[in-house]
Chain A
Amino acid sequence: MIHALNPAARAAGLRRGQTQADARAMVPHLIGQAADPAADARALTALAQWAERWSPSVSVDPSEEGLEGLFLDVTGAAHLFGGEAALAEQIRQRLAEAGIKARVAVAPTPGAAWALARWGEDEAGAAPIATQDDARDRLAPLPVEALRIADRTLAQARRFGLKRIGDLYPMPRAGLARRFRNDGGVDLVRRLDQALGHVGEALVPVRPPPRYRSWETWMEPVADLEGVETRLSGLAADLAAPLERDGQGARALTLTGFRSDGRTTSLSVRMGRPGRDASVWLRLFREAGLGKLELGFGLDALMLTADVVEPMAARQAALEREAEAKQAESLTALIDRLTARLGEARMLAPEALDSWLPERAERLRPALGRRIEAAPCEAVRRPILLLDPPEPIRDPLFDLPDGAPARFTWRRASRRVVRSEGPERVAPEWWRTARARTRDYYCLEDAEGGRYWVFREGLYGREYAGGPDERPPSWWMHGVLA
């Protein structure tokens, strides 16, 4: 089955949807390559991100395979590139440099642009540019398939003698819509209206266009980090200004580099509280490692976007609370910086939870954006260093089987217990696992002054009666006391 074909194959009379056997019968020397639609879709999405250099709103054209493309909403952006013709030319040239042959058209509606890009190229090879006024005339000579209609509708239209889009203009709409089977006519009329701008068409961009972004393009690719860093400071200042104007601060930023080979490379940083200090951003990016950007043969555009934006609370701290507020601010800034470099998984802060199980009572969570608080005090002894998960204790010896051990082995060293305290009973959280058993915690002190927090999992008698299929109670080291 043919998924896509080049101009030579099209000229030979082949079309999409033909089986390979049919095609080979017509063109014996046909060269075929296995289609990989998933890879195509991935490549197109990556290309869409790269195309964000020209427009913040880029969508992947959902057309059938073989006819895919990108829609760039360049409303109000073309003048930045020297007009629509210059923009179209620049897009084509950049893509050609990246090894991608592309057809580019600019039109007032997605439908018209789609048709012109695929069928509207003039003899000189310049990109077709349609304006609000001449879109209707420029579409008229194009074949009906340029309207993005289903193959069956297309075949019927041909049978009716409707070959060009212009042939549809004089037809009464209601009649046209009724003339086709299976709602094909309705679809045809809708596509025509979309192309002419009578009805709107919503496009879904690959990434929601950020409200705040700053970008810069230049002629010579920048291949060194110093160059990127220099330009980043300019971008940061550009981005901070509109945020300042709107009273907003950024919680997350992404720096996207556009490579000359058609790929993008990006680096993100997050902050615990909204901010708009360009120098802080620079520092965060430096700590996150600008070296992680893959520059390839160089970047020719750089974009900085504020991905998460929050209003900056007006700070009117009372005088006595000012020192406290300032300290909290410097702590947040510190955690932001350390997290940028180490990553969220390695910068942690404890979070107190409502659980009887010691290892669940305090959980480690990323410190970023978290209030750093002291754990609630416990009336009973708790270890200063917690082993999580607990480690098994070997060969416990007892004076009494359900009491504290008199001797035990942990980490291959045998320890003689000289003093002990306990038990402190912790009931199982039976709603979590059916097999959970009661824990009895003991504080043990050995002859060398080491103090350990151990527990026996399982009770003699109630939870273990000595049956052959039962697990005998076991001993665990859970932490070390000061």
Chain B
Amino acid sequence: MIMNPSPALSQDPFPQTPAPLEEACAPTPRDVAAAVAFALSRRRADDTRPVLVTAPRAWFVEYGRPYGPGMAGVPLILASAASLAEALWVMEQGLRSGAVALGLGAVEGATLAQTRRLDFAAKQGEAVGLILSRGLDGLSAARRRWRISTQASAVDPEDDRAPGRARLLAELTRGRGERPGAWMLEQDDETHRLRLADRLADFGSPSIAGTGAPSGLAA
């Protein structure tokens, strides 16, 4: 049982400030929940505007529907789109309106021109657009392209048999003017937002090592 081989964790500061349009790829189905959590934490922390989630109807059946009680304090609007064109239209309208904080869209196969429109709309509406995809092939106007993979949770010192704080590895595969890198993020139990995991906290922890810790963990 080996987890996704992951690159060494980056020493650079995590790019916390969101770009107008970013893309997060969940390579396997089990990474989708982590990618959604990552997307939600790309909002500015003090932004109270709702989150608009756009996906084909089949997506909500396949991966589950975003569930309010599991995301703490996120006002949600869900749109099930019948086609790629409709999904992009909904995202663009939402981002441009200035009424939503985050436009999260599970869209596959958008063209460069279409993603440019989203980028522009997000800038106009002071919102964050986030494309959730299965793979990072194809051109995109997204300023940052991430690969998100779920990781073994942090060890709870009081109960090492229970899952601790949820962890995920965010790999920046392309950034405009930024060096690619990988960061280990973990979910804050209180706010449900992601923060940079303390790299030393689990140093040498047998349970992590036993499940195959990412190679960069001890860096």
Contacts and interface: CB of A to CB of B under 8 A. Distances in A.
A419 B33 contact: no
B69 A375 contact: yes
A447 to B, nearest CB: 4
Query: DSSP class of B's interface residues: helix, strand, loop or mixed?
Result: mixed
B100 A334 contact: yes
A350 interface: yes
B140 interface: no
A101 interface: no
Interface of B: 1, 3, 29-30, 32-34, 36-37, 49-50, 57, 63-82, 86, 89-90, 93-94, 97-100, 149-153, 159-163, 166-168, 187, 192, 211
B97 A419 contact: no
A372 B162 contact: no
Interface string A139-170: 00000000000000000000000000000000
B68 A362 contact: yes
B62 to A, nearest CB: 9
A479 B71 CA distance: 13
Given A385-B64, A448-B3, A449-B149, A331 B162 contact: no
19 contacts: A327-B49, A330-B98, A331-B97, A331-B99, A334-B97, A342-B86, A358-B69, A383-B67, A384-B33, A385-B63, A385-B67, A419-B162, A445-B153, A448-B30, A450-B150, A480-B33, A482-B33, A482-B37, A482-B192
Interface in A423-461: 443-445, 447-451
Contact of B166 (A327, A331, A482): A482
B64 A479 contact: yes
Interface residues of A, number: 54
A384 B1 contact: no
A201 interface: no
B69 A451 contact: no
Contacts of B153: 419, 445, 449, 451
B41 to A, nearest CB: 10
Contacts of B159: 421
Nearest to B155: A419
A361 B64 CA distance: 16
Question: Which of B33, B89, B149 has the most CB atoms of chain A within a 10 A radius of its CB?
Answer: B33
A420 interface: yes
A367 interface: yes
Contacts of A388: 64-65
Given A385-B33, A482-B150, 19 more contacts: A331-B97, A334-B99, A342-B79, A342-B90, A364-B65, A372-B50, A374-B76, A378-B69, A386-B65, A419-B161, A420-B162, A421-B159, A443-B163, A447-B1, A448-B30, A449-B3, A449-B151, A451-B33, A480-B64
Interface string A383-421: 111111000000000000000000000010000101111
Contacts of B211: 418, 447
A31 to B, nearest CB: 51
A449 B81 contact: no
A5 to B, nearest CB: 52
B3 A479 contact: no
Contacts of B187: 482
A112 to B, nearest CB: 55
Contacts of B152: 418, 445, 449
B77 A335 contact: yes
Nearest to B186: A482
A10 interface: no
Nearest to B1: A447
A347 interface: yes
Contacts of A387: 64
A348 interface: yes
A377 interface: yes
A377 B36 CA distance: 18
A385 B53 CA distance: 12
Interface string A302-346: 000000000000000000000000010011011101100110001
Given A448-B1, A451-B153, A372 B76 contact: yes
B97 A333 contact: yes
B66 A384 contact: yes
Nearest to B80: A346
Interface string A253-286: 0000000000000000000000000000000000
Contacts of A373: 75
A352 interface: yes
Contacts of B80: 342, 346, 348
A481 interface: yes
A468 interface: no
